[in-house]
Amino acid sequence: MTEKDNSARRPRLLFEIAAVIACKLLFIFCLWYFFFSPAHRPEVTPQTMSSVIFGDVAETTPAKPSR
């Protein structure tokens, strides 16, 4: 390979690297948006935390169906 061939490939290589990085950033953003955005976070209150930590049975288990 001559230096002339190498200099002609450099802009295309930089474009390909930039395109791959842009695709990866888009993929990471989509993962965040669909799985970790504020719309997908549960509401955590002191009451729900105490029921989870201390095992408040009345609030966490569903009621038994009557016969």
Give the pLDDT of residue 17: 96
Across the chain, mean pLDDT equals 82
Q: What is d(CA 9, CA 35) in angstroms, rounded to the nearest whole number?
A: 39
Q: What's the pLDDT tens digit per position in 14-39?
A: 999 999 999 999 999 999 999 998 88
Q: What is d(CA 44, CA 41) in angstroms, rounded to the nearest whole number?
A: 9
Whether the per-residue pLDDT at 65 is higher than 70: the answer is no
Count of CB atoms situated within 10 Å of the CB of 24: 10
Give the pLDDT of residue 59: 52
What global pTM score does this model have? 0.53
Average pLDDT over residues 40-66: 75
